[in-house]
Structure 1
Amino acid sequence: MANISIGVVGAGLIGRKHIMKIREHPDFDLVGIADVNSEGVSAQYPGVPVLRDYREMLDVARPQAVIIASPNQIHAEIGIECARRGVDFLMEKPVTDTLAAASALLGEVRRNNVRTLVGHHRRHHEQVKAVRRYIHDNVIGNLVGVSAIWAAYKPDKYFEIAPWRTQPGGGPILINLIHEIDFLRYTTGEIVAVSATSSNRQRNFPVEDTAGALMEFEGGCIGTFFASDSAVSPWTTEQGVGEAAEFPFSGESSYRFIGSQGSLEFPSLVHWSQADGDQNWNKPVISQRLFASFVDPYVAQLDHFRDVVCGTEQSLQTVEDGARTLIATLAVAEAAQTANRIDLRERYEAVAAGSHSNTTRKAS
């Protein structure tokens, strides 16, 4: 089988990570890069055509597939151009910056029948696949609830180098929680309603530094999530899984899935249950550590994208599915501001039908 020719749009932090994985992958040929800093990027990757405009890169390199790692606000524009040219694409999260843009993108994808994958890379962790399997196989019985934490202290430099992070849209809800929302949708089921509250009292920036969310799932499960970028803890997915060198490994579980016949911690995969299936609070609850191997999620994601482009696998997350994660995340921010419970089902239907209003708030 011939290698897949692939281009990358955007050579920032995440774009460079994709480029590195592509160059190491035996089944892809990197044929072009598009970045506004074309001279600087070209010096980093000699021998690879680097063009300032992504349309020119598509014309010159004519890739079979593209990875879109550009700023969020032009995700839809680039995805639409790829779809019109029949180019399959992997788009970094969030799928777009507004729900109206997501609707427009979804329409073009459907009209041109291109294959898509959204880059919520945690779906490709073996631990994530394992916990999803255990939940769906009723290893802990009927899922009753899930409790989760994402809490870390972002240093002052984080805000100094990017002052927009101190403004609405730059807080932990839209920057960090979107990963966790997607993880919950993938493992636990569809989120159908959210309520939330938030606070900015630690830093007094115009954006939240702490938030709490209550989530209702399609199967009747109730979830709670605490998120803060101004609190010191070992409880983040990054620290627990050890997926990035910049987050020191803790190995601690930040998720607890609670069922009618037992509970499960993630990412440690500790299974709690009572002997002989005797559900009784007077009986001891014992633990057993389950196993899942570790893989580089970006390599696994690229392997999956190869199979999607070749038509041998269905996409683990299409543009439409990525839009649902965006809907739920934006709703948490809206619920925190308005103190309203927000039902998501009509919003899912509106984006799928391509009828979402252009007045929808933006994601960051």
Structure 2
Amino acid sequence: MKHLANHTMTEFILLGLLKYTPTHFCLFVLITMMLIFMLTGNSLLILLILVDHHLHIPMYFFLWQLSLIDILFTVSFVPKMMNDYLLHKTIISAFHCGTQIFLGLALGGTECILLGLMSYDRYVAICKPLQYPLLMNWPLCRLMTVSSWTSGTVNALIHTVYTMSFPFCGSREINHFYCELPVVLHLSCEDTLTYETGILISTTILLLIPFSVILASYTLILVTIIQMASAEGRKKAFSTSSSHLTVVSLYYGAIIFMYMRPISSHISGQDKVVSVFYTILTPMLNPVIYSLRNKDVMGALEKCYRHVYYVLKLIYRLSGCCFTEYKFCLCHMIHFGLTTITP
């Protein structure tokens, strides 16, 4: 009977990231500010890339896809965590728990592949600039993007269904701020060693293969940069590549630590700290790194600012003219009224 109850568990208890102390409340405020900054930065970056035709090249096509994934990834978990903290809520249904596992794996897997594609794009642009239009044509870019989303989604669906089919024993407490596969699987009362092998295989495909592509691409890029005759060309190429590599190091480092270890080695409370890197920190840093160190994006931002300023100035002038005409008409009506009632 107990075994049946484990199979039909309908809810879990999320212990969350924050405790009800003054220090953790300050951390809550900080996370709120980071969330707002992340949403603003990534949304603005997507808007700039979509409206500025100078940014309609594969590099920025991949970049706005990355920003979209970061927005979806963060808003899938962080707002609920903050809402639960304010309402003192810890219960999450099995359905919503499975949904969080699916979203985390789907978006995370897609981003891993996308980062690999971005490194290949940088390799072709820097090392083979004359062949860039041929090797990175639009049909191929769209095909690679669709393939990355499809691969991440299918992998997530398989692992979510398999994970949620395990029986869960004893405590329902998940020492995390959202349902993540290794943490939830740790509650299973069955031997998960065979399934962990499957996780390792899929992680190798979606994580280590793109990471290997990134390392190979940047090794070749570094060699090419060193051989460049122009100091300005070396500086521009190194700036673009180093910004991408910074994001990759933060993201892949945390993901590898989280998913490339046996389930039994996961320490209670440690996983949620690691998860902060790829759910909050990296998505917040992406627009900063890719915009502040990129002349094309900064140029598009400056152009957008000028257009907005011009429109606001025009609206202000028009409203001023309308207000002047309104005052003239009002004064004329008052004068006419006074003259008509004067004996």
On whether the aligned pair clears a TM of 0.5, the verdict is: no
The structure whose residues are more often strand, as a share, is 1
More contact order relative to length (CA 8 Å, sep ≥ 6): 2
TM-score for both structures, normalised by structure 1: 0.22
Q: Which has the larger radius of gyration?
A: 2
